[in-house]
């Protein structure tokens, strides 16, 4: 078993970059509409929804650390980094108030972005955000909550490992890729990491992390709903993952069909109180790349990068 501490409260922050941000942001938020309008009005001015104006002369964080997860958003990245003023939305909420607390805070950030003509960003994942029409009421992990980004394939040409499709020895031809989630901590879970992955298997590794994150989060909220008196949580090192976990990540009503074996299993190792390593199960013989490239994982892990129902959801 793995034991880790679950915080009583977590803090998450969003920022909106704009050319001009007024000092009275509360007035702008009182005009919010949509499913979170009442929540925004009820929480505004409390630790659960604190909104402040900041400019480049007083920032305690660096806008240059905010990046675009997709190439088509690079112009938004530059606009965020070059902006002179910011509206910063902070939600410090009980862990039992998740995910509602972060959804309300992000809905407020999206409203400010629309009102100011600005660019919103998630300061936990470090990514600029692409606002939807409105924050949906149902929580979907694929909706830019996880900070899940693929590195440049073949390390921008620096990788010299052979391609496994051309050379059987290339299955473990390199170990360039390390993937780590950013965003689970706001829900009281450690982040997840997978390492020593060869470049051609990066998407499979990413989907393993996504599915693991969704499964852990589902169980985590079930555990919190029991009102545990102890803030130390124990989970099994051996985690079975099913088709429903993969579909739940995307929040799609249409199940993402995975070929057998199903369920498949991962092994979790506690690296620190804030980080779990994801690896093949103990009884698997071979490297992590053998596991990712062989017939152990369902085929859907190799080719699904965007939601089958909503292509821009990830």
pLDDT of residue 107: 96
Give the pLDDT mean for 129-134: 84
Q: Which of 189, 159, 192 is nearest to 176 (CA)?
A: 159
The pTM is what? 0.90
CA-to-CA dists, residue 211 to 13, 68, 131, 247, 295, angstroms: 25, 23, 24, 8, 17
Q: What is the pLDDT of residues 283-294, one digit of tens each?
A: 998 889 989 887
Q: What is the pLDDT of residues 69-117, one digit of tens each?
A: 888 899 999 999 999 999 999 999 999 999 999 999 999 999 999 999 9
What would the two tokens of residue 269 be?
Answer: 């190792």
DSSP H or E stretch at residue 276: strand 275-279
**Per DSSP, which regions of 182-274 are E strands?**
191-197, 232-235, 238-241, 264-272
Q: Is the peptide bond before 75 cis (omega within 30 degrees of 0)?
A: no
Mean pLDDT estimate for the chain: 88
Q: What is the pLDDT of residues 155-202, one digit of tens each?
A: 666 777 777 666 666 677 788 889 999 999 999 999 999 999 988 888
Angstrom distance (rounded) from CA 291 to CA 93: 39
């Amino acid at each position: 078993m793995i034991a880790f501490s679950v915080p009583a409260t977590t803090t998450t922050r969003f920022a909106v970059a704009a050319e001009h941000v007024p000092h009275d942001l509360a007035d702008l938020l009182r005009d919010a509409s949509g499913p979170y309008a009442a929540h925004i009005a009820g929480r505004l001015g409390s630790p659960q929804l604190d909104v402040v104006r900041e400019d480049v002369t007083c920032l305690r964080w660096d806008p240059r650390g905010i990046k675009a997860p997709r190439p088509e958003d690079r112009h938004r990245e530059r606009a965020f980094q070059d902006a002179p003023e910011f509206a910063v939305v902070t939600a410090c909420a009980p862990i039992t108030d998740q995910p509602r607390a972060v959804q309300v805070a992000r809905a407020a950030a999206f409203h400010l972005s629309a009102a100011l003509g600005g660019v919103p960003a998630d300061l936990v994942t470090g990514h600029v955000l692409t606002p939807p029409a409105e924050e949906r009421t149902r929580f979907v992990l694929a909706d830019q909550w996880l900070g899940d980004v693929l590195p440049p394939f073949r390390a921008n040409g620096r990788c010299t490992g052979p391609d496994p499709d051309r050379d059987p020895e290339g299955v473990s031809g390199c170990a360039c890729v390390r993937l780590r989630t950013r965003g689970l901590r706001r829900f009281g879970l450690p982040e997840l990491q997978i390492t020593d992955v060869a470049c051609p298997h990066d998407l499979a590794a990413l989907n393993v992390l996504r599915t693991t994150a969704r499964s852990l989060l589902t169980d985590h909220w079930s555990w919190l709903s029991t009102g545990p008196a102890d803030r130390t949580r124990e989970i099994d090192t051996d985690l079975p993952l099913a088709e429903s976990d993969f579909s739940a990540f995307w929040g799609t009503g249409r199940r993402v069909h995975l070929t057998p074996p199903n369920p498949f299993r991962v092994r979790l190792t506690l690296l620190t109180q804030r980080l779990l390593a994801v690896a093949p199960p103990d009884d698997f013989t071979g490297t992590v790349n053998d596991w990712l490239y062989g017939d152990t994982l369902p085929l859907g892990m190799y080719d699904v990068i965007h939601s089958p129902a909503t292509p821009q959801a990830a």
